[in-house]
Each structure stands twice: as C-alpha cells, then as structure tokens.
Amino acid sequence: MRDIERGYLNGNHFVYRDKKPVLIDSAFILDFLDTERLISSLGVNLSRIDLIVCTHTHCDHIGGNGIIQDRSGCKIALHNTGKYFIDTRMTGRHGGGIMIRRPGFLTTQYLWKMEII
C-alpha cells in the first residue's frame, strides 16, 4: 500500500498495488490529470484499477470516480448513506438539490456497512 499526499484542500490517496489495484479516494475531478500522473508514478495504470473505496462523499474524495470507472470498469465501494446522497443528487429527488442531515460528523465518514455499486 502506498500513499499519495495531495496537500491542503485536496483529498489524499492510498493505492493498494496488486494484480487488482485498489484506489482509496479519487480527489477532485478538476485535478484528474494530476491524479493520473501521481498514481502512474507508483507503477499503476488507472485503466487497471479494480476498485475505488470512498472514505466519504466530499467532492475532494469522490470527484474522479466517474472518469476512473469509465476508463477501468472498476467497482466503487462506499457507505450506504453516501450512496443515498449521490443517488439523490443525481436523480434530483429533492427538487434538484440535496438535503444532508449534519449534526456533527457525517455518517459517511465511518465505514460500518459498505455497498458496491
């Protein structure tokens, strides 16, 4: 397992290098080219990623999920609550917005129960 420290205001990555590489968090979509370069510097081609594990659903942790999944066909694992918020936002079930209950920490910051999408 290798870590990539992105610096202030951008999610870090952990890459499990194996026959089926696993990426933990994918960073901002706008920083995708940097993400690709940094992960490649570890000897991992993004098209080989088998699984992305999302620690929580902030944009600096899940922003690159779609493009990486398009390139690799990988699965994405995240907490059920995080999946709900992503699905809700994408389908606009709350009138085009997203409603997040936030009394302290988000429940998506804890990986109690995961769902593969």
2-116: what fold?
Metallo-beta-lactamase; Chain A (3.60.15)
- Strands 51-53 and 75-79 turn out to be parallel
Domain range summary for the chain, segments of one domain joined by +: 2-116
CA dist 38 to 6, 49, 110, Å?
9, 14, 26
pTM for the whole thing?
A: 0.68
Confidence at residue 98, expressed as pLDDT on a 0 to 100 scale = 44
Q: What is the pLDDT of residue 116?
A: 54
Ranges in the chain, pLDDT < 70: 1-3, 5-12, 86, 88-117
Q: What is the reported pLDDT for 89?
A: 61
| Type of residue numbered 72 | S
